[in-house]
């Protein structure tokens, strides 16, 4: 397991050793002891989620606040996505900054997004199967979000605006400026 720090504190890119031969490949995608030792954080995952989406589908930027905040360990099983984490911790030196990572079914890269971050991704291939672990259960009353094309965040989603496909819920998310004073992490 090779762990790379990002510019965002406690947000890590994880590259596991992949063993390939003519039959295919094998890698250990998660091991609690190795994860805790390499990340330096005690995280206990309680829920796995998976989605399949077509090109241009953008899911996010989502988060849960308060006691229901979630850390996530994300990866792509098939296809290619641009994954985005936004630091929403008011006391962080990187508050309001973001990081992107390309995750593919071929590169087997994982991205750890700690509690206190907004998270989203956009599908860059024809389809993609996205998988993630959460360390807290979903709670609708604690969910929040930021509109993906927020002018202050100015995230480069690496896709044309005309190709972006959003859920009705994601189309009406507030801006970063509208929610930044009410964040509770």
Residue 114 has pLDDT above 90, yes or no: yes
Question: CA-CA distance, 76 to 111, in Å (whole number)?
Answer: 10
Question: CA-CA distance, 91 to 79, in Å (whole number)?
Answer: 36
% of the chain residues with pLDDT over 70: 100
Sheet strands side by side (includes 98-104): 98-104, 80-87, 117-123, 58-64, 143-145
pLDDT at site 185: 86
CATH of the domain at 162: 2.60.120.10
What secondary structure letter does DSSP report for 129? E
Question: CA-CA distance, 59 to 79, in Å (whole number)?
Answer: 15
Number of domains forming the structure of the chain: 1
Digit-coded pLDDT (tens) for 23-56: 999 999 999 999 999 999 889 999 999 999 999 9
Give the structural domain span for 86.
2-182
> In the predicted model, what is the mean pLDDT of the chain?
96
Question: CA-CA distance, 182 to 173, in Å (whole number)?
Answer: 14
Q: Which residues form the catalytic set?
A: 62, 132
% of the chain residues with pLDDT over 90: 95
- List phi, psi (to 5°) of 76: -115, 130
Digit-coded pLDDT (tens) for 53-68: 999 999 999 999 999 9
Question: pTM value?
Answer: 0.94
């Amino acid at each position: 397991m090779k762990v790379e720090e990002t510019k965002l504190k406690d947000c890590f890119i994880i590259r596991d050793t992949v063993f390939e031969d003519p039959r295919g490949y094998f890698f250990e995608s998660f091991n609690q002891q190795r994860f805790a030792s390499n990340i330096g954080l005690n995280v206990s995952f309680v829920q796995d989620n998976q989605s399949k989406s077509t090109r241009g589908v953008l899911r996010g930027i989502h988060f849960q606040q308060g006691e229901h905040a979630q850390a996530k360990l994300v990866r792509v099983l098939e296809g290619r996505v641009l994954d985005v984490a936004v630091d929403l911790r008011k006391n962080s030196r990187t508050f309001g900054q973001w990081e992107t990572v390309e995750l593919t079914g071929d590169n087997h890269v994982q991205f750890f997004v700690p509690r206190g971050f907004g998270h989203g991704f956009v599908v860059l291939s024809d389809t993609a199967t996205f998988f993630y672990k959460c360390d807290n259960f979903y709670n609708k009353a604690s969910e929040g979000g930021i509109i993906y094309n927020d002018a202050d965040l100015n995230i480069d989603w690496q896709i044309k605006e005309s190709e972006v496909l959003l859920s009705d819920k994601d189309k009406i998310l507030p801006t970063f400026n509208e929610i930044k004073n009410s964040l509770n992490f």
